[in-house]
Amino acid sequence: MTSTLFILQIVLAIAITIAVLLQKSSSIGLGAYSGSNESVFGAKGPTGFLAKITFALALAFIINTLALGFLYTKESTSSVADKIVPKNNTVVPASPIAPTQDAPAAPQTK
């Protein structure tokens, strides 16, 4: 299940990139190559259609990201930090060791 969603995540990322690059901008971008087929999308051209497709793809991408995060968290019960072993193989104490010397007391004012 997770691998299927991960492949879908990659496909959605590529599709969003293509949809964004096809939209017209101030520098036109790759939208310049879709000039002859604008009548297919209506009088306004592909602008409204591509904006709706981009929104739908982005929504699917976000939902898929949340699902992947949930499934990965559900599968994993330990952290990578739990597997770290110090080089000297000693156990790190849970609380700091109390110093052997006490600091001198501060002078009292009268």
Tell me the two tokens of residue 62.
């976000």
Average pLDDT in the 41-64 region? 81
Comparing 108 with 47, the larger pLDDT belongs to: 108
Give domain limits for the chain: 7-77
**DSSP assignment letter at 30:** G
pLDDT, tens digit, 9 for 90 and up, residues 11-45 = 999 999 998 888 876 555 555 555 544 455 555 55
> What is the per-residue pLDDT for 98?
64
Percent of the chain whose pLDDT exceeds 90: 29
**Cα–Cα distance between 110 and 37 in angstroms, integer?**
92
Q: Considering just the CA atoms, what is the radius of gyration of the chain in Å?
A: 29
pTM of the model: 0.54
